[in-house]
Structure 1
Amino acid sequence: MLKRSFQPIVSSTTQILILGSLPGDKSLVENEYYAHPQNRFWKVIKYLFNAPEPISYTERIGILLRNNIGFWDVCAEASRPGSMDLAIQNERPNAIAELLETHTSIKHIIFNGQKAYSLYLKHFEKKAGIIYSCLPSTSPANAKSNLEDLIEHWRIIISD
């Protein structure tokens, strides 16, 4: 079950880069980051940026880009049955080092969960001048964190 990442969503003014591990099955079907209805990523973003309901995927991306936030995944491709991060195997990383070379405005990398962080450390060295933060995953598999806890941790993206 080889699965592939999407293209990065960044702009020339991106200062914060959010890295996930690899899109889940629902995201791959919908061709949208964080498309699973139980994933709390977009709920957190809508709360932090006081976005109205309903809001389209294009509008969600616009909110992030207007606030100098981009996102991508650590894995370009990997074998994974289902959508669980623990099942990721034989991953090939995205060209994150190259992205950082061409987008020198990025000063903070935030990992959406421990798996994204550990995959990053497996394939890349931390770069001087960049802050690295691992936040609780917004995935529904992270039952330890409720929405309020996630909002509190993820508030770092608006105070940066």
Structure 2
Amino acid sequence: MKQYHNIQPVYNKDSYLLILGSFPSVKSREGQFFYHHPQNRFWKIFEQLFDLKLQTIEDKKAFLLKHHIAVWDVIASCDIVGSSDSSIENVLVNDINSLIEETSIETIYTNGKKAHQLYQKYIFPVTQKEDICLPSTSPANATYSLEKLIESWRLLLNHDLS
């Protein structure tokens, strides 16, 4: 069934890191914010890396903007069963290039293999900017413990995120 992305990207002109997911989960679409499912480890990773607690959507947005991180998804709409990336078909993509042009984006990270594949297929030909694929923070990625994810995502700390 056709689903539409209902979450505005988080960014400002000073954002220089972009993290792209594939498409929001059912819980994220319901909560109208990125990685809203309580079992998704995205926010837990940042809490560990920066030694802080992010309680509200406002806290999370403020954190991202303070640290020059933009967050969005590759897909604007698609046919999807529940939250299953493997079921994604009939993709329409977000205008990632416009976001890049409005910001100071230097580095693009994709959250998981599906986001990476979609980025390479639909967005890279337009932007000509390579992405760096990080392991998915989804609870479906059971092969990665939180500790292993934190080690992989620590790569973000190579940037000046102050």
CA-to-aligned-CA distance 1:55-102 (integer Å, 9 cap, x gap): 212101211110000100000011101101111110100001121122
Per the alignment, residue 102 of structure 1 pairs with 102
Residue 27 of structure 1: aligned partner: 28
SS in 2 for 1:14: coil
For each residue in 1:88-135, what CA deviation from the matched residue of structure 2 results, as whole angstroms up to 9, or x when unmatched?
1101000011211222x100000000000101111122645x552100
SS at match of 2:64: helix
Tell me if the contact between 2:124 and 2:130 (Cα under 8 Å) persists in the aligned partners. Answer: no
Contact 1:19 1:73 in 2 (8 A): yes
Amino acid at match of 1:99: L
TM-score when normalising by structure 1: 0.93
Alignment of 1:70-149 (within 5 A): 70-103=70-103, 105-125=104-124, 127=127, 130=129, 132-149=131-148
Matched AA of 1:92 = L
RMSD of equivalent CA atoms: 1.4
2:96 maps to amino acid: I
Partners of 1:110 and 1:133 within 8 A in 2: yes
Shift of residue 39 of structure 1? 0.4
Contact 1:2 1:77 in 2 (8 A): yes
Deviant stretches of 4+, over 3 Å:
none
For structure 2, list consecutive stretches of 5 or more residues without a partner in the other structure: none
Figure out how many residues of one structure are paired with residues of the other and give that number: 157
TM-score between both structures, scaled by the size of structure 2: 0.91
Give yes or no for contact 1:4–1:77 (8 Å, CA) kept in 2. Answer: yes
Alignment identity in percent? 41
Q: Distance in 2 between matches of 1:131 and 1:77?
A: 23
